[in-house]
Structure 1
Amino acid sequence: MSLNFSSNFNKWTRDLLHVLYPQTCLICKYEYNQSKLAICPICSSELAYTNYEDYPEETNLDKLFWGRVNLEGTYALLRFKQEGSTQKILHELKYRSNPEVGIHFGKEIGSKLKNMTKFSDVDALIPVPLHPKKEFIRGYNQAEVICKGIAESSGKTLRKDLLKRISFTESQTKKGKTSRWENMQNRFKIQGIKSTGLKHLLVVDDVVTTGSTLETCVRILREEFPEAKISIAVLAVAE
């Protein structure tokens, strides 16, 4: 009897909470209460996946960095378009205090990378760092929670101790390519004791548009790890 009562009580509690605080799909905003990360089946089926894992040739993300930095590989899970589903996902992750979004899609990225030969020997996941002030305001670093998801599904090691952001920058959203590049100079540095033995570094961020932030991070890591391979992975790419 006690087990049945406990089960019924838990169900009543969940139902009451749902009435008071209804959960909605984070994309279409219709009521949906089937998972911790609420994306309804219809919106899930319409997500703008890049399918880069199936590309036999270079992707647009590969080409974005041609002539800028030498990369072993690049990967993006979703395509970004204004007012599209990916923008809503990124907004939820960055501005609505929902790190579960990053972990969820990080797991998807990790699952994809496990089956891609060029990422098989990655031995360090490096999130693009936020300035401590911005991370305090947001409550977390969105690139780091994506890394946590990748680490969970791929078994790779998260190394947030290698790269540090040393100055606070204003939003890059409305800046052009040149302005973004200038805005990122001298913003990062290697921190802590020199690490040795790392052979393939994967730099992770939430979204790439012009690539200025990632390019800066790769250049700094290249100075510290001249013999290592460096790749990048992002949740979304603007195409």
Structure 2
Amino acid sequence: MCAACHQHITWLPAPFEVDFAIEQPLVIQAATYYDYPIRQAISAFKQHEDLTRLPILVHLLRQLPRPKGCHAGNSVIVPMPTTDARLIKRGFDPVTVLSQHLSHHWRIPLWHGAVRTDNTVSQRGLSRAERLSNLDNAFDVNTICPARHLLLFDDVATTGASLQALARTLITHHPRASLTAFALAHGSQDR
């Protein structure tokens, strides 16, 4: 999202950038910060499958403006992939559930062509360097992407390391793609 657009949407956290390719920053826009009471709502939804928290999370998702020029004909939303082990442990994929709501709101389809290839440990509590190292070779692509604009989505982006690693994998397989990232919550106000 451009700076001029962001000036008109003052309630959103400022977008932040991480490098994912030479001279290509990945812009990450979150709907809110990962603070009380949002932290508790996300945790209850993710860890305990507390669906009573979903309406507030969906309301927050609807605060994210659809990127200019992106529509169902040229864009896809790429949910942050999870591992089979995490899916079995949780019994559901909270990021995909949230992504489905964002897809419906923006009228842009989901694309599940990116996969998690390893069993990395949770990113929670790791330093930035540990997060990056933890995500080495964490993703792969198993199908050709049908769109030019890839809109990456994760529930919480603290340092952006997961989105950065996913972006690196996607740009390797789709070098002409345009990538932008979104998150429900930004895990740090220190940026």
TM-score (norm 2): 0.81
After TM superposition, give the deviation of residue 210 of structure 1 in Å.
1.2
Question: CA distance change for structure 1 residues 189 and 151 in 2, over 3 Å: closer, same or farther?
Answer: same
In 1, Cα distance between equivalents of 2:26 and 2:89? 34
Q: Match for residue 172 of structure 1? A: 123
Aligned residue among 151, 167, 174 for 2:103: 151
Contact 2:75 2:109 in 1 (8 A): yes
Q: Which structure has more RCO (C-alpha within 8 Å, separation ≥ 6)? A: 2
In 1, Cα distance between equivalents of 2:108 and 2:41? 24
Matched, 1:132 2:84: yes
Q: Match for residue 37 of structure 1? A: none
**RMSD value, Cα:** 2.7
| Structure with a larger share of its residues in strand | 2
What SS does the corresponding residue of 1:172 show, helix, strand or coil?
Answer: coil
Q: Match for residue 200 of structure 1? A: 149
After TM superposition, give the deviation of residue 159 of structure 1 in Å.
1.1
In 1, Cα distance between equivalents of 2:98 and 2:118? 22
Counting aligned pairs with the same residue, the percent is 18
In 1, Cα distance between equivalents of 2:161 and 2:76? 21
After TM superposition, give the deviation of residue 99 of structure 1 in Å.
5.1
TM-score (norm 1): 0.66
After TM superposition, give the deviation of residue 170 of structure 1 in Å.
1.5
In 2, Cα distance between equivalents of 1:54 and 1:109? 18
After TM superposition, give the deviation of residue 106 of structure 1 in Å.
4.0
After TM superposition, give the deviation of residue 133 of structure 1 in Å.
1.1
In 2, Cα distance between equivalents of 1:175 and 1:88? 20
After TM superposition, give the deviation of residue 72 of structure 1 in Å.
6.7
Contact 1:143 1:205 in 2 (8 A): yes
Q: Give the partner amino acid of 1:78.
A: T
| Structure with a larger share of its residues in helix | 1
Contact 1:93 1:101 in 2 (8 A): yes
After TM superposition, give the deviation of residue 74 of structure 1 in Å.
3.0
Question: CA distance change for structure 1 residues 107 and 125 in 2, over 3 Å: closer, same or farther?
Answer: farther
Q: Which runs of 5+ in 2 are unaligned?
A: 1-5
What SS does the corresponding residue of 2:33 show, helix, strand or coil?
Answer: strand
Q: Match for residue 3 of structure 2? A: none
After TM superposition, give the deviation of residue 189 of structure 1 in Å.
0.6
Q: Match for residue 210 of structure 1? A: 159
May I ask how many residue pairs the two structures share in their alignment? 179
Which structure's CA Rg is the greater one?
A: 1
Q: Give the partner amino acid of 1:147.
A: S
In 1, Cα distance between equivalents of 2:32 and 2:63? 14
Q: Match for residue 117 of structure 1? A: 68
